[in-house]
Chains A and B, each alone.
Chain A
Amino acid sequence: MKPFITTSLRLLLYLILIAPLLLFIAYGFSTRWFFPAPFPAEWTTSTFDRALNDSRTLTGLRDGLTIAVIVSVLSLLLAFPAARVMGLRQFKGQQLAWLLLFLPTVVPPLAIGMGLNILFLQLGLAGTIFGVVLAHLIPTLPYTIFTLSSAFARYDENFEHQALALGASPLQIFVNVTLRMMTPSLVVATLFAFLISWSQYLLTLLIGGGKIITLPILLFAAASGGNPSTIGIKSLLFVLPPVLVIAFTARELTRHGEDIREQY
């Protein structure tokens, strides 16, 4: 009875997760699907072909991916030292430091965006990829810092001391010990940064000023247009990179998770 229940629950979970995707596929690859017909009357790839040949969509895909990748890398570079100190050390004013680091998650993005827009216009960063990247770092950094600092709180520096005593230089220790030990958390932190940046709408719109177009902006435009096929295809294109990233990182996580379980 127990295995039956767990299997059923698991299948139900898969269904809930996959149902929206099935709906997008059904809408994106069909025409003339009217209520109360349970399935589309006709299947076609014309909307998909059109999207693939649409320069705006391709630019949105390219710019969105570029921004998300740069944001992920920068987030890690900035979050890593901060998280190490926050996770491993205790110092006066640490609570205040946490508050400052987490402020972007409670301040409304509209307030941040409007303020940044004025500043970036003055600095000439508005409407540039770099400007959008900087803006995206605001919502991504708290999550990457939190993910990495909780990993550092469980991290034992004696692994590094051991490597030092065995003759490894600080750089060798960083590459061969610290990064290897932190890989699962780095993967999760990268995943967060990528997903948050990839799905950013408001900050991209405000800082990009219509010059930087990413897929969420096109998706919002398509959603207000009301064509189910276009919405379906653009939604699929929007979902595809995160799904690939998660699929890749899940495999990595399982591999490193085993190593960690063996140690403890």
Chain B
Amino acid sequence: MTHIQITSLHKTYPNASTPVLKDFSLSINDGEMVALLGPSGTGKSTLLKLIAGIEQPDSGDIYFDGESILQTEPNKRGAVLMFQKSYLFPFLNVEENIGFGLKMQGVSSETIQAEVKRMLNLIGLPGIEKRKVGQLSGGEGQRVALARALVTQPKLLMLDEPLSSLDTSVRINLQAAIREIQRELGITTIFVTHDLSEAMAMSDRMAILLDGEVTAYDKPDVLFHRPPCVRSAKFVGVDLFLEGESSGGWLDAAEVGRVRLKDESKVGRSVYAIRPEHIRIQKEEIENSLRGMVQSCLLEYKTTASGSEWSKKVIP
């Protein structure tokens, strides 16, 4: 359980003209899972590397429970990373891989064995201690990598798109599993992804990172329905905006005329984002209806993940 505070972090790589992180600040509560959402190349992975100590920031600071960690050696920070690839050591078996961190810390082999067993039960893969890592499937590999990260009881767990290389069914299963384990252990977690639905499904809070800056940081449903700015709104799937002067519960939009507003208190120049699923197509003209022509149709369906067999095992 660790409170993480990141203040005004700035990072520019050598030979790069623009900074990858600009005045980046974020506060993460004890045991919270925060999703860091943004397109590729916006500095998400760089942030994790800065926290892990693989890279050094140009300025700014990172605090774990109020103490700066920048002067702490990377291997003593207690910030564990898990990547898109499992990076299980190919020359070690499952047990040796999971026990790697404990072995490096000089923990006795009996304790390591017991801990590995406990972890394998936790991730739902008991009895595979002696298996070679090459014999694991993609999903199993990531679960073992998760166990390897958790066994050291880190202060912060950082997941860098750990599910993006997996099939949809395996991914949904693992999403649920990671969420359950994270809740059960109460471990503070940063989850990096570029997938909106994954971020919404897994996080307590969601930070949208665009061009090295946090443009929005709130609960997933708040960000989804009431994004604080146009850039964030576009990233959460809105591409229809109405801009104009609001007063007395009406918006005078230049393009479409007068539109009735639910919120009557709004006054002045404002931009409204309309989520695509809130648009209803009908023949009659009523209030707030806009005239248009349907040019093409795309069939889209959504699935809802329910508790899998595996997640039931974790939470009895």
Contacts and interface: CB of A to CB of B under 8 A. Distances in A.
Interface of A: 156, 158-159, 161-170, 172, 176-177, 180-181, 183, 256, 259-263
A167 B104 contact: yes
B80 A262 contact: no
8 tightest CB-CB pairs across the interface, nearest first?
A: A262-B134, A166-B101, A263-B90, A168-B104, A165-B81, A162-B87, A259-B90, A165-B80
B91 A259 contact: yes
B183 interface: no
A183 B148 CA distance: 24
Contacts of A180: 89, 91
Contact of B105 (A167, A177, A259, A263): A167
A168 B90 contact: no
Measured as residues with beta carbon below 8 angstroms from the partner, the interface class of chain B is 20 to 34
For B49, B54, B87, B91, which residue has the most chain A Cβ atoms within 10 angstroms?
B91
Given A161-B49, A165-B81, 15 more contacts: A163-B100, A164-B75, A165-B54, A165-B80, A166-B148, A166-B149, A167-B152, A176-B104, A180-B89, A180-B91, A256-B91, A259-B134, A261-B134, A262-B133, A262-B134
B91 to A, nearest CB: 5
A262 B90 contact: yes
A180 B100 CA distance: 14
B100 A166 contact: yes
B74 interface: yes
B79 interface: yes
Contacts of A183: 91
Given A166-B149, A167-B76, A260 B104 contact: no
Contact of A263 (B52, B74, B83, B134): B134
Contacts of B90: 181, 259-260, 262-263
B104 A263 contact: no
30 contacts: A156-B87, A158-B83, A158-B85, A158-B87, A159-B87, A159-B89, A161-B54, A162-B81, A162-B83, A163-B104, A164-B53, A164-B54, A165-B52, A165-B79, A165-B149, A166-B100, A167-B76, A167-B101, A167-B104, A167-B105, A168-B100, A168-B104, A169-B104, A181-B90, A183-B91, A259-B90, A259-B134, A260-B90, A261-B134, A262-B132
